[in-house]
Protein backbone atom coordinates (compact mmCIF):
# COMPACT_ATOMS: atom_id res chain seq x y z
CA UNK A 1 0.00 0.00 0.00
CA UNK A 2 1.37 3.36 -1.04
CA UNK A 3 0.41 6.31 1.19
CA UNK A 4 1.71 9.85 0.88
CA UNK A 5 0.20 11.19 4.09
CA UNK A 6 -1.41 9.39 7.02
CA UNK A 7 -2.98 5.95 6.94
CA UNK A 8 -6.73 6.02 7.33
CA UNK A 9 -8.20 8.05 4.52
CA UNK A 10 -9.82 11.45 4.29
CA UNK A 11 -13.01 10.41 6.07
CA UNK A 12 -11.17 9.32 9.21
CA UNK A 13 -8.56 12.05 9.24
CA UNK A 14 -9.94 15.22 7.70
CA UNK A 15 -13.64 14.98 6.96
CA UNK A 16 -16.14 12.63 8.54
CA UNK A 17 -14.68 11.63 11.91
CA UNK A 18 -13.25 15.03 12.96
CA UNK A 19 -16.40 16.88 11.93
CA UNK A 20 -18.67 14.40 13.70
CA UNK A 21 -16.49 14.67 16.81
CA UNK A 22 -17.05 18.41 16.88
CA UNK A 23 -20.72 17.99 16.04
CA UNK A 24 -21.07 15.62 19.00
CA UNK A 25 -19.67 18.34 21.27
CA UNK A 26 -22.03 20.86 19.71
CA UNK A 27 -24.86 18.40 20.24
CA UNK A 28 -24.01 18.19 23.91
CA UNK A 29 -24.31 21.97 24.09
CA UNK A 30 -27.67 21.87 22.31
CA UNK A 31 -28.85 19.12 24.63
CA UNK A 32 -27.93 21.19 27.66
CA UNK A 33 -30.19 23.93 26.32
CA UNK A 34 -33.16 21.53 26.50
CA UNK A 35 -32.31 20.18 29.91
CA UNK A 36 -34.57 22.56 31.83
CA UNK A 37 -37.59 20.97 30.18
CA UNK A 38 -36.55 17.61 31.63
CA UNK A 39 -37.02 18.65 35.24
CA UNK A 40 -33.46 19.84 35.81
CA UNK A 41 -32.00 23.25 36.43
CA UNK A 42 -30.45 25.06 33.49
CA UNK A 43 -26.85 24.09 32.78
CA UNK A 44 -24.38 26.50 31.24
CA UNK A 45 -21.60 25.23 29.01
CA UNK A 46 -18.37 26.75 27.82
CA UNK A 47 -16.17 25.38 25.04
CA UNK A 48 -12.65 24.33 26.02
CA UNK A 49 -10.80 25.04 22.78
CA UNK A 50 -7.66 23.16 23.75
CA UNK A 51 -9.64 20.27 25.15
CA UNK A 52 -11.73 19.98 22.00
CA UNK A 53 -8.65 20.16 19.78
CA UNK A 54 -6.96 17.43 21.82
CA UNK A 55 -10.09 15.29 21.62
CA UNK A 56 -10.29 15.60 17.82
CA UNK A 57 -6.59 14.83 17.40
CA UNK A 58 -6.71 11.89 19.82
CA UNK A 59 -9.57 10.24 17.94
CA UNK A 60 -7.84 10.80 14.59
CA UNK A 61 -4.59 9.34 15.91
CA UNK A 62 -6.39 6.36 17.41
CA UNK A 63 -8.20 5.60 14.14
CA UNK A 64 -4.99 5.86 12.10
CA UNK A 65 -2.99 3.75 14.56
CA UNK A 66 -5.66 1.02 14.64
CA UNK A 67 -5.80 0.87 10.84
CA UNK A 68 -2.01 0.78 10.55
CA UNK A 69 -1.80 -2.01 13.12
CA UNK A 70 -4.48 -4.02 11.33
CA UNK A 71 -2.64 -3.72 8.02
CA UNK A 72 0.64 -4.74 9.63
CA UNK A 73 -1.02 -7.78 11.25
CA UNK A 74 -2.07 -8.94 7.78
CA UNK A 75 1.44 -8.59 6.38
CA UNK A 76 0.71 -5.49 4.29
CA UNK A 77 3.78 -3.47 3.33
CA UNK A 78 3.20 0.26 3.67
CA UNK A 79 5.34 2.42 1.38
CA UNK A 80 5.45 6.07 2.40
CA UNK A 81 5.48 8.27 -0.67
CA UNK A 82 3.64 9.58 -3.71
CA UNK A 83 2.99 7.24 -6.62
CA UNK A 84 2.47 7.73 -10.33
CA UNK A 85 1.96 5.14 -13.03
CA UNK A 86 4.85 4.43 -15.37
CA UNK A 87 3.10 1.71 -17.34
CA UNK A 88 0.16 -0.72 -17.29
CA UNK A 89 1.89 -2.85 -14.61
CA UNK A 90 4.22 -0.44 -12.83
CA UNK A 91 4.37 2.63 -10.62
CA UNK A 92 7.15 4.93 -9.47
CA UNK A 93 6.98 6.03 -5.85
CA UNK A 94 8.73 9.21 -4.75
CA UNK A 95 9.83 8.56 -1.16
CA UNK A 96 11.97 10.46 1.33
CA UNK A 97 15.01 8.46 0.25
CA UNK A 98 14.47 8.44 -3.49
CA UNK A 99 12.28 6.89 -6.16
CA UNK A 100 11.20 3.27 -5.94
CA UNK A 101 9.81 1.21 -8.81
CA UNK A 102 7.04 -1.26 -8.01
CA UNK A 103 5.55 -3.77 -10.44
CA UNK A 104 2.10 -5.23 -9.92
CA UNK A 105 -0.31 -7.82 -11.28
CA UNK A 106 -3.32 -5.78 -10.16
CA UNK A 107 -3.74 -2.29 -8.73
CA UNK A 108 -6.40 -0.44 -6.79
CA UNK A 109 -6.60 3.35 -7.13
CA UNK A 110 -8.17 4.89 -4.01
CA UNK A 111 -6.66 8.36 -3.79
CA UNK A 112 -9.84 10.12 -2.67
CA UNK A 113 -10.72 13.74 -3.25
CA UNK A 114 -10.01 17.23 -1.98
CA UNK A 115 -12.19 20.32 -1.44
CA UNK A 116 -13.16 22.11 -4.64
CA UNK A 117 -11.79 25.65 -4.68
CA UNK A 118 -13.02 28.00 -7.43
CA UNK A 119 -10.91 30.74 -8.97
CA UNK A 120 -12.81 33.44 -7.04
CA UNK A 121 -11.78 32.13 -3.63
CA UNK A 122 -8.31 31.90 -2.06
CA UNK A 123 -8.51 30.10 1.31
CA UNK A 124 -5.83 31.10 3.82
CA UNK A 125 -6.61 28.58 6.57
CA UNK A 126 -7.13 31.44 9.00
CA UNK A 127 -10.28 33.38 8.14
CA UNK A 128 -11.17 31.96 4.71
CA UNK A 129 -11.47 28.24 5.32
CA UNK A 130 -11.95 25.04 3.40
CA UNK A 131 -13.79 22.25 5.16
CA UNK A 132 -10.48 20.73 6.21
CA UNK A 133 -9.41 23.88 8.07
CA UNK A 134 -12.23 23.58 10.58
CA UNK A 135 -11.34 20.68 12.87
CA UNK A 136 -11.22 22.78 14.90
CA UNK A 137 -10.41 26.20 13.41
CA UNK A 138 -7.48 28.17 14.83
CA UNK A 139 -10.04 30.30 16.61
CA UNK A 140 -13.76 29.81 16.99
CA UNK A 141 -15.50 32.38 14.81
CA UNK A 142 -17.66 35.10 16.24
CA UNK A 143 -19.57 35.03 12.99
CA UNK A 144 -19.20 32.92 9.87
CA UNK A 145 -20.63 32.61 6.37
CA UNK A 146 -21.03 29.09 5.01
CA UNK A 147 -21.01 28.90 1.22
CA UNK A 148 -22.77 25.75 0.04
CA UNK A 149 -26.03 24.28 1.31
CA UNK A 150 -25.40 20.62 0.55
CA UNK A 151 -24.71 17.94 3.13
CA UNK A 152 -21.33 19.30 4.23
CA UNK A 153 -22.51 22.91 4.30
CA UNK A 154 -25.52 22.31 6.55
CA UNK A 155 -23.42 20.23 8.93
CA UNK A 156 -21.06 23.18 9.31
CA UNK A 157 -23.99 25.52 9.89
CA UNK A 158 -25.22 23.26 12.67
CA UNK A 159 -21.75 22.87 14.17
CA UNK A 160 -20.84 26.56 14.29
CA UNK A 161 -24.31 27.60 15.43
CA UNK A 162 -24.04 25.10 18.29
CA UNK A 163 -20.79 26.73 19.36
CA UNK A 164 -22.48 30.12 19.51
CA UNK A 165 -21.40 31.75 16.24
CA UNK A 166 -23.68 34.00 14.21
CA UNK A 167 -24.08 31.97 11.02
CA UNK A 168 -25.13 32.97 7.51
CA UNK A 169 -25.77 30.27 4.90
CA UNK A 170 -25.56 31.09 1.20
CA UNK A 171 -28.14 28.88 -0.53
CA UNK A 172 -27.84 28.83 -4.31
CA UNK A 173 -31.39 27.48 -4.70
CA UNK A 174 -34.65 27.98 -2.85
CA UNK A 175 -34.15 25.00 -0.52
CA UNK A 176 -31.28 23.82 1.61
CA UNK A 177 -30.20 20.28 0.76
CA UNK A 178 -31.34 20.37 -2.87
CA UNK A 179 -32.28 16.90 -4.01
CA UNK A 180 -33.23 15.74 -0.54
CA UNK A 181 -36.74 15.20 0.82
CA UNK A 182 -38.44 18.65 0.94
CA UNK A 183 -40.14 17.71 4.22
CA UNK A 184 -36.75 16.99 5.78
CA UNK A 185 -35.24 20.19 4.37
CA UNK A 186 -38.15 22.21 5.77
CA UNK A 187 -37.60 20.90 9.30
CA UNK A 188 -33.90 21.68 9.09
CA UNK A 189 -34.56 25.19 7.78
CA UNK A 190 -36.98 25.84 10.65
CA UNK A 191 -34.37 24.66 13.14
CA UNK A 192 -31.75 26.94 11.57
CA UNK A 193 -34.07 29.94 11.65
CA UNK A 194 -34.99 29.18 15.25
CA UNK A 195 -31.30 29.36 16.17
CA UNK A 196 -30.84 32.68 14.39
CA UNK A 197 -29.17 31.38 11.24
CA UNK A 198 -29.55 33.77 8.31
CA UNK A 199 -30.47 32.09 5.02
CA UNK A 200 -29.59 33.82 1.74
CA UNK A 201 -31.68 31.83 -0.73
CA UNK A 202 -31.25 32.04 -4.48
CA UNK A 203 -27.76 33.49 -4.13
CA UNK A 204 -24.50 32.24 -5.58
CA UNK A 205 -21.22 33.42 -4.12
CA UNK A 206 -18.91 35.08 -6.64
CA UNK A 207 -16.11 36.35 -4.39
CA UNK A 208 -14.72 35.74 -0.90
CA UNK A 209 -12.06 38.16 0.31
CA UNK A 210 -10.50 39.55 3.47
CA UNK A 211 -11.01 43.27 3.91
CA UNK A 212 -10.78 45.92 6.59
CA UNK A 213 -14.15 47.42 7.47
CA UNK A 214 -14.89 51.03 8.42
CA UNK A 215 -14.15 50.25 12.06
CA UNK A 216 -10.69 48.97 11.19
CA UNK A 217 -11.55 45.33 11.85
CA UNK A 218 -10.30 42.47 9.70
CA UNK A 219 -13.36 40.74 8.25
CA UNK A 220 -14.33 38.40 5.42
CA UNK A 221 -16.66 39.70 2.73
CA UNK A 222 -18.74 37.29 0.65
CA UNK A 223 -20.26 38.80 -2.50
CA UNK A 224 -23.16 37.14 -4.33
CA UNK A 225 -24.33 37.28 -7.92
CA UNK A 226 -27.56 39.08 -6.99
CA UNK A 227 -25.70 41.97 -5.36
CA UNK A 228 -26.09 40.84 -1.76
CA UNK A 229 -22.99 41.06 0.42
CA UNK A 230 -22.29 39.35 3.75
CA UNK A 231 -19.57 40.44 6.15
CA UNK A 232 -18.47 38.07 8.92
CA UNK A 233 -15.30 37.26 10.81
CA UNK A 234 -14.85 33.98 8.93
CA UNK A 235 -16.12 32.09 5.90
CA UNK A 236 -16.01 28.41 5.00
CA UNK A 237 -16.25 27.05 1.47
CA UNK A 238 -18.31 23.85 1.18
CA UNK A 239 -19.14 23.45 -2.50
CA UNK A 240 -18.04 19.91 -3.18
CA UNK A 241 -14.82 18.15 -4.03
CA UNK A 242 -12.59 17.15 -6.92
CA UNK A 243 -10.95 13.73 -7.40
CA UNK A 244 -7.25 13.24 -6.71
CA UNK A 245 -6.41 11.77 -10.10
CA UNK A 246 -4.51 14.62 -11.76
CA UNK A 247 -1.07 13.63 -10.42
CA UNK A 248 -1.27 9.88 -11.09
CA UNK A 249 -0.27 9.87 -14.77
CA UNK A 250 -3.15 7.52 -15.52
CA UNK A 251 -2.46 7.75 -19.24
CA UNK A 252 0.75 5.77 -18.73
CA UNK A 253 -1.37 2.88 -17.45
CA UNK A 254 -4.03 3.38 -20.10
CA UNK A 255 -6.69 4.19 -17.47
CA UNK A 256 -9.44 6.48 -18.72
CA UNK A 257 -11.03 9.39 -16.84
CA UNK A 258 -14.15 11.37 -17.58
CA UNK A 259 -14.17 15.15 -18.04
CA UNK A 260 -14.42 15.67 -14.27
CA UNK A 261 -11.36 13.57 -13.52
CA UNK A 262 -13.36 10.63 -12.16
CA UNK A 263 -12.49 7.07 -13.18
CA UNK A 264 -15.45 5.12 -14.62
CA UNK A 265 -15.83 1.62 -13.19
CA UNK A 266 -18.11 -1.39 -13.71
CA UNK A 267 -20.01 -3.32 -11.04
CA UNK A 268 -16.76 -5.02 -9.96
CA UNK A 269 -15.01 -1.62 -9.58
CA UNK A 270 -12.89 -2.47 -12.64
CA UNK A 271 -11.67 0.39 -14.82
CA UNK A 272 -11.23 0.15 -18.57
CA UNK A 273 -8.07 -1.81 -17.76
CA UNK A 274 -9.14 -5.28 -16.54
CA UNK A 275 -6.41 -5.50 -13.88
CA UNK A 276 -6.78 -1.97 -12.48
CA UNK A 277 -9.54 -1.06 -10.04
CA UNK A 278 -10.83 2.20 -8.59
CA UNK A 279 -12.79 2.80 -5.38
CA UNK A 280 -13.91 5.66 -3.18
CA UNK A 281 -14.49 9.24 -4.27
CA UNK A 282 -12.47 8.92 -7.48
CA UNK A 283 -14.92 6.32 -8.82
CA UNK A 284 -17.60 8.97 -9.23
CA UNK A 285 -20.10 6.95 -7.22
CA UNK A 286 -21.59 8.04 -3.91
CA UNK A 287 -18.84 9.91 -2.00
CA UNK A 288 -19.43 8.00 1.24
CA UNK A 289 -16.80 6.17 3.26
CA UNK A 290 -19.30 3.35 3.81
CA UNK A 291 -19.58 2.92 0.05
CA UNK A 292 -15.79 3.02 -0.38
CA UNK A 293 -15.41 0.34 2.29
CA UNK A 294 -17.80 -2.03 0.54
CA UNK A 295 -16.15 -1.26 -2.81
CA UNK A 296 -12.83 -2.31 -1.28
CA UNK A 297 -14.30 -5.62 -0.24
CA UNK A 298 -15.76 -6.16 -3.71
CA UNK A 299 -12.35 -5.45 -5.26
CA UNK A 300 -10.72 -7.99 -2.96
CA UNK A 301 -13.32 -10.60 -3.91
CA UNK A 302 -12.84 -9.95 -7.62
CA UNK A 303 -9.05 -9.84 -7.68
CA UNK A 304 -8.96 -13.18 -5.80
CA UNK A 305 -11.54 -14.73 -8.11
CA UNK A 306 -14.21 -15.08 -5.42
CA UNK A 307 -16.80 -13.28 -7.56
CA UNK A 308 -17.27 -16.50 -9.50
CA UNK A 309 -19.10 -18.03 -6.52
CA UNK A 310 -22.16 -16.58 -4.78
CA UNK A 311 -21.78 -12.85 -5.18
CA UNK A 312 -24.02 -9.81 -4.81
CA UNK A 313 -23.25 -6.72 -6.83
CA UNK A 314 -23.06 -3.42 -5.03
CA UNK A 315 -26.31 -1.51 -5.60
CA UNK A 316 -25.54 2.17 -5.11
CA UNK A 317 -29.25 3.04 -5.22
CA UNK A 318 -29.68 1.21 -1.92
CA UNK A 319 -26.93 2.96 0.01
CA UNK A 320 -28.03 4.65 3.22
CA UNK A 321 -26.73 8.13 3.99
CA UNK A 322 -27.02 10.51 6.90
CA UNK A 323 -26.59 14.20 7.64
CA UNK A 324 -25.41 14.94 11.17
CA UNK A 325 -27.28 18.13 11.80
CA UNK A 326 -29.76 18.66 14.60
CA UNK A 327 -32.10 17.03 14.02
CA UNK A 328 -30.27 14.31 12.12
CA UNK A 329 -31.46 13.43 8.62
CA UNK A 330 -31.07 10.04 6.98
CA UNK A 331 -32.44 8.36 3.88
CA UNK A 332 -32.12 5.26 1.75
CA UNK A 333 -33.50 3.87 -1.48
CA UNK A 334 -36.23 5.38 -3.63
CA UNK A 335 -37.24 8.92 -2.68
CA UNK A 336 -40.80 10.15 -2.88
CA UNK A 337 -40.02 12.93 -5.36
CA UNK A 338 -37.92 10.56 -7.48
CA UNK A 339 -40.80 8.09 -7.71
CA UNK A 340 -43.24 10.79 -8.78
CA UNK A 341 -40.80 11.98 -11.44
CA UNK A 342 -40.60 8.42 -12.77
CA UNK A 343 -44.38 8.10 -12.75
CA UNK A 344 -44.09 5.10 -10.45
CA UNK A 345 -46.95 4.19 -8.16
CA UNK A 346 -45.90 4.16 -4.53
CA UNK A 347 -47.37 4.14 -1.07
CA UNK A 348 -45.98 6.78 1.31
CA UNK A 349 -46.62 6.71 5.04
CA UNK A 350 -45.30 9.30 7.43
CA UNK A 351 -45.34 9.24 11.22
CA UNK A 352 -44.12 12.13 13.39
CA UNK A 353 -41.87 11.25 16.32
CA UNK A 354 -44.16 13.37 18.48
CA UNK A 355 -46.53 10.36 18.57
CA UNK A 356 -43.91 8.13 20.27
CA UNK A 357 -43.44 8.15 24.05
CA UNK A 358 -39.62 7.98 23.75
CA UNK A 359 -39.48 11.29 21.85
CA UNK A 360 -41.47 12.95 24.62
CA UNK A 361 -39.23 11.35 27.25
CA UNK A 362 -36.21 12.76 25.41
CA UNK A 363 -37.89 16.18 25.27
CA UNK A 364 -37.29 16.26 21.52
CA UNK A 365 -40.39 15.49 19.42
CA UNK A 366 -38.96 16.94 16.22
CA UNK A 367 -38.97 14.99 12.99
CA UNK A 368 -40.65 11.99 11.42
CA UNK A 369 -40.28 8.58 9.82
CA UNK A 370 -41.34 8.20 6.20
CA UNK A 371 -41.51 4.84 4.41
CA UNK A 372 -41.93 4.41 0.65
CA UNK A 373 -43.30 1.02 -0.43
CA UNK A 374 -44.83 -0.76 -3.41
CA UNK A 375 -48.63 -0.58 -3.03
CA UNK A 376 -49.13 -3.95 -4.74
CA UNK A 377 -46.53 -6.07 -2.95
CA UNK A 378 -45.73 -4.09 0.19
CA UNK A 379 -41.99 -4.29 -0.57
CA UNK A 380 -40.08 -1.46 1.08
CA UNK A 381 -38.52 0.73 -1.63
CA UNK A 382 -37.02 3.49 0.49
CA UNK A 383 -37.50 5.86 3.34
CA UNK A 384 -36.29 8.92 5.19
CA UNK A 385 -35.97 9.81 8.85
CA UNK A 386 -35.57 13.18 10.53
CA UNK A 387 -34.92 13.29 14.24
CA UNK A 388 -32.74 12.00 17.05
CA UNK A 389 -30.60 8.99 16.09
CA UNK A 390 -31.85 9.03 12.49
CA UNK A 391 -28.45 7.74 11.32
CA UNK A 392 -28.93 4.64 13.48
CA UNK A 393 -32.62 4.09 12.79
CA UNK A 394 -32.24 4.25 9.01
CA UNK A 395 -30.39 0.93 9.20
CA UNK A 396 -33.71 -0.85 9.69
CA UNK A 397 -35.15 0.59 6.48
CA UNK A 398 -31.82 0.04 4.66
CA UNK A 399 -31.92 -3.65 5.59
CA UNK A 400 -35.51 -3.88 4.39
CA UNK A 401 -34.62 -2.22 1.07
CA UNK A 402 -31.56 -4.42 0.50
CA UNK A 403 -33.31 -7.66 1.45
CA UNK A 404 -36.59 -6.85 -0.34
CA UNK A 405 -38.54 -7.07 2.91
CA UNK A 406 -42.13 -5.90 3.11
CA UNK A 407 -43.81 -3.42 5.39
CA UNK A 408 -45.46 -6.42 7.07
CA UNK A 409 -42.01 -7.74 8.01
CA UNK A 410 -41.36 -4.49 9.87
CA UNK A 411 -44.80 -4.34 11.47
CA UNK A 412 -44.55 -7.88 12.80
CA UNK A 413 -41.10 -7.36 14.28
CA UNK A 414 -41.27 -7.16 18.07
CA UNK A 415 -39.49 -3.87 18.72
CA UNK A 416 -38.46 -2.33 22.03
CA UNK A 417 -40.86 -0.12 23.96
CA UNK A 418 -40.36 2.72 24.61
CA UNK A 419 -38.07 3.44 21.67
CA UNK A 420 -37.93 5.82 18.73
CA UNK A 421 -37.92 2.72 16.51
CA UNK A 422 -41.60 2.29 17.29
CA UNK A 423 -42.25 5.03 14.74
CA UNK A 424 -40.82 2.68 12.10
CA UNK A 425 -43.48 0.09 12.83
CA UNK A 426 -46.20 2.74 12.89
CA UNK A 427 -45.09 4.06 9.49
CA UNK A 428 -45.06 0.53 8.08
CA UNK A 429 -48.64 -0.24 9.19
Tell me which of 122, 217, 267, 417 is the catalytic residue.
417
Q: Are strands 128-130 and 234-237 parallel, antiparallel or unpaired?
A: parallel
Helix H or strand E encompassing 380: strand 380-387
The answer to whether 417 is a known catalytic residue is yes
> Of how many residues is the chain composed?
429
Rounded CA separation 362/328 (Å): 15
Task: Centre a 10 Å sphere on the Cβ of residue 380 and count the other Cβ atoms it contains.
Answer: 29
Helix H or strand E encompassing 392: helix 390-402
Q: What are phi and psi of 367, to 5 degrees?
A: 95, -175
Rounded CA separation 236/253 (Å): 37
Rounded CA separation 396/357 (Å): 20
Instruction: Specify which residues 108 forms β-bridges with.
Output: 277
Per DSSP, the three-state class of 420 is coil
Who contacts 131 (Cβ-Cβ below 8 Å, separation ≥6)? 15, 19, 115, 152, 156, 236, 237, 238
Per-residue DSSP letters for 81-111? Answer: SEEEEEETTEEEEEETTEEEEEE-SSEEE--
Per-residue DSSP letters for 164-192? Answer: T-EEEEEESSSSSSTTS-HHHHHHHHHHH
Which residue numbers are catalytic? 417
Amino acid sequence: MIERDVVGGAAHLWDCIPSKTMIATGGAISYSERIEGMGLADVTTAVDNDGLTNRVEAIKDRMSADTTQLLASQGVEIVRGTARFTGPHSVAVDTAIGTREINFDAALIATGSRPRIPDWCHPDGDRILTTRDCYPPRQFPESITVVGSGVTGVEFVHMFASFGADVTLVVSRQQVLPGKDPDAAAILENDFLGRGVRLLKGARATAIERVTNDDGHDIVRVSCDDGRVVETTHAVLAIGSVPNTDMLDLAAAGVECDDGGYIPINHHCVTNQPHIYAAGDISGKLPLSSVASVQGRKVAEHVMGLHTVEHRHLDYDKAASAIFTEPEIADVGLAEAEAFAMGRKIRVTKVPFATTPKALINNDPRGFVKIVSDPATGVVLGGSIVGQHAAELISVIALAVTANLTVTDIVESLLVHPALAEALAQAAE
